[in-house]
Structure 1
Amino acid sequence: MKTLFVSYRVTDLDHSLAFYTALGYAELGRVRAADAGHLVILHFPDEPAASLELVHRPAEGPVDVGTGFDHLAIQVDTLAATLERLAEAGLAPGPIKHPGGPEGPKTAWLTDPDGYRIELVEWPPESPDGITAETFS
């Protein structure tokens, strides 16, 4: 088994799509399904398959993100350059932090139009990509 993608319900599809496109996602396709709403499937250009789905169901009203979801973590190559690009695109990322100390990963936070939190992470050069079993040994 493997995780296919994360799916977010969004209040304003155009506004959210503009946000995620500025973040770096690209649109793979759209599905209009009466019961499921309007779906936009996204991925990062270097990803071979979908990694995020935006679901728009206008009849359900505004999104309430206070249901237990915490955040989406996205790995970036160079956090400082990413933050600069996002600021130039009109987004408002937070400052760089070092939650594991100066030799650990660098992180910064961003919030999407519906209030979903996004953690941007730059791993140290000597670390493997992502969190693996090796991380905990």
Structure 2
Amino acid sequence: MTALSRRPSNDPHRKGWRVFYGDVQIGHIGERAGVPIDVDQWGWSLSFYPGTEPDDGAGGTGATFEECRAAFERAWEELRPKLTEENFEVWRRERDRTAWKYRMHDLGLPMPTQTTTGWSKCFCGADIPISCEEHIHTVHRGIGE
């Protein structure tokens, strides 16, 4: 079974850790902002879409990182059996498509839907049609990691 791992959050407004199952982000554990000093200073959230309903996610608070980590892992043990590899693959494709789209935008390249011909040029140099999902999936797999 794939172990959970964590990486520091890259959001300066959200101190803490992003939690991953393999290469898929499934939640966050971090310091809570703006709470009184006499309440739990740490919080956690677990959610995954697609494959779950909105109320399948979980979250909570704890006095320490370790308390939150333990609660997160218990919640994951309940949620994980509901998910399939297809759910993770849909998430990966969406992650990569979004990262690809932002890269195109950042480089000032038009999307195929923004041209009169329905074709554009990818930042990798390939000509791409409106239906460019397969190009993104095969050539730019993992761009969103």
The structure that is helix-richer by fraction is: 2
TM-score, normalised on structure 2? Answer: 0.25
Structure with larger Rg: 2
The structure that is strand-richer by fraction is: 1
